[in-house]
């Protein structure tokens, strides 16, 4: 079975600092990879996804993530944090062989300090 590990349940950065949220997956075959964001009192929305092709994926709000097969990682980054980035971030994986289901990580709450 595939699983997703997000390192750090809480991450705190200063406004303007680099944001790095870590995600590792366990799968013998590269899965499809997603990052979703959940703002307070809202549902989840897609930030970005990797399916095939270029391993550096750009998403909304200045976020990007790089698929590294050798490290089984899909870390999310943003060069400069903004107060509005404060939210919970979820990494997720899926594969057709696993019934097309999304498997989510436990989530990382990002706090941005002024």
**Can you tell me the distance from the alpha carbon of 59 to that of 46, in angstroms, rounded to the nearest whole number?**
8
**Can you tell me the distance from the alpha carbon of 62 to that of 82, in angstroms, rounded to the nearest whole number?**
10
Under the binding rule (CB under 8 A), the answer on residue 99 touching another protein is yes
Nearer to another protein, 19 or 23 (CB): 23
The nearest distance, CB 80 to another protein, in angstroms, is 26
Residues 11/35, Cβ–Cβ less than 8 Å: no
State the residues that interact with another protein by CB under 8 A.
Answer: 4, 9, 32, 36, 41-46, 49, 51, 90, 92, 94-96, 98-102, 104-107
């Amino acid at each position: 079975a595939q699983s997703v590990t997000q390192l750090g349940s809480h991450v705190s950065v200063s406004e303007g600092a680099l944001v790095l949220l870590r995600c590792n997956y366990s799968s013998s075959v590269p899965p499809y990879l997603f990052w979703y964001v959940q703002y307070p009192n809202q549902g989840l929305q897609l930030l970005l996804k990797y399916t095939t092709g270029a391993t550096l994926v750009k998403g909304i709000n200045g976020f990007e993530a790089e698929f590294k097969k050798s490290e089984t990682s899909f870390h999310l980054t943003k060069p400069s944090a903004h107060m509005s980035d404060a939210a919970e971030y979820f990494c997720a994986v899926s594969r057709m062989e696993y019934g097309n289901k999304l498997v989510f990580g436990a989530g990382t709450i990002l706090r941005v300090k002024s």
